[in-house]
Amino acid sequence: MKVSHIATIALLSASAIGMTGAVSVVARQFTIERSAVQVVVDTSIAARLQGLSDAMEHVPAAGRPSLLSKYGFRDETALAAALAAQRRDLDSAEKLRAAELAANEKRLAALLAACGLSAIVAIMGAVALYDAHVARGRVTREADTVAA
């Protein structure tokens, strides 16, 4: 086997390895993102608690305890504590979501690099094979011309 054939096979093998790596990265890209759900849930709960807290300012002092008990709070301090706890939960969920998105971006960059490398190597291998085919055809025609 000629050196050019060995080089071509090596290039095509590198392309196949690159595509195998790309496929493994693609599988990770299609996982379910659970962190988005937690951010949405925590946001809606925090918004509802904030709305209740804002509404408490417009309710007369006599009606506040009954309104708070309707939503399951003893007093305004318990509402403020629940709102603070929900904001902390929302903050941690947002940080988790940001970390997940950053990891997805890194995997996507690796996927694009693997696909790009594979495409370049496959093109180089195809050109090398075509060049070898054309060179073999030239040698055959020259041998036919000399023989005639």
Q: What would the DSSP string read from start to end of 72-131?
A: T-SSHHHHHHHHHHHHHHHHHHHHHHHHHHHHHHHHHHHHHHHHHHHHHHHHHHHHHHHH
Range of the domain at 111: 3-147
What pTM value is reported for the model? Answer: 0.62
pLDDT category of residue 1 using cuts at 50, 70 and 90: low
pLDDT category of residue 106 using cuts at 50, 70 and 90: confident
Number of structural domains (the chain) is 1
* Residue 14, pLDDT score: 75
What average pLDDT does the structure give for the chain?
A: 82
- Cβ 12 vs Cβ 121: under 8 Å: yes
| Best CA proximity match to 34, nearest among 120, 89, 97, 116 | 97
Over its C-alpha atoms, the chain yields an Rg (Å, rounded) of 33
d(CA 72, CA 48): 13
